[in-house]
Structure 1
């Protein structure tokens, strides 16, 4: 957070200015609403002669480790779920080369690997993510955890690229007149997985930024 903005907010609150007045003044000076909200949220709304700073989330090795495990498990489960769906689509709609149907010799092996990865990664993600959310329910300040914010925005970036690639692939195939059923199903798979992740973490990021 910008130190100048934080110091101004502290002095304005100490002078008795209302939060709405402080926000309006900062907005008129060109500050963004997200920065204003973060600065105001840094001070608790409690009756005291001087502004009382909220407890700030700290960075610990354990917290970084837990969030890395959670998000790596999420990425692993999402990737293998998509790959599994693709393999099943390929099995249901095999490609034709001339008059012959082409089926990959490694299809069943790949499917077994995808299922194995999902059965390991997904339960790890669910168990740890539920524990994290229970901890946040007990202490809402934990939602502002820096590892959580970094990995949340990284996930938004990855899924946004994934969705953009999905749209580009759809347009490319449409322009080439190759919108086969298998292609549409694969694009829909990407849209569901990436879109679901993007929507969830976008809402989470907005809730964390809300004052």
Structure 2
């Protein structure tokens, strides 16, 4: 029987690899929702994008408050360079004006998502699960979404700040570094399994938001 090398074992058991494999199908289901497909294909309008940003604002307020509450426990993964709340607020102010908060109409699915974050993301495993799904998604598929929004809706960078990470020099090396930071966390086997399970739940929560956005913003006939 072949004996695994230390390198092979490390790669196989790395938490970031477990997250990638454990959420692959959930990720695909979230990306294939009709709302996302319609938005990416230019079948909706700027109002749909603004509503998406408003829902994201509630999610990131909860996530980033939880990250701050972790303090030193989460210092290696709750990074200021990733903070999205100021960018979303800038986008909404440009889309809806200075009184943008008065126009926010949170969906029931968004409220459930934010509540789940407040419940679990103040623990390190809970935070890692949600930070992985949100930030690495923004740095990957989010960059494609940014290009499609600019192409189909004529949106300028000043209303797409959410997808722009000015504090990062290069995205690809940072993603590798962030995965390495996740892998370096000292978590028990049970905690690792909890991270993967919670990340799967995060995709379900996100998909529910997309479903309700789709019901609110149908493409023109």
Q: Which has the higher contact order (CA 8 A, sep 6+)?
A: 2
TM-score (norm 1): 0.32
TM-score with structure 2 setting the length? 0.31
Bigger Cα Rg: 1
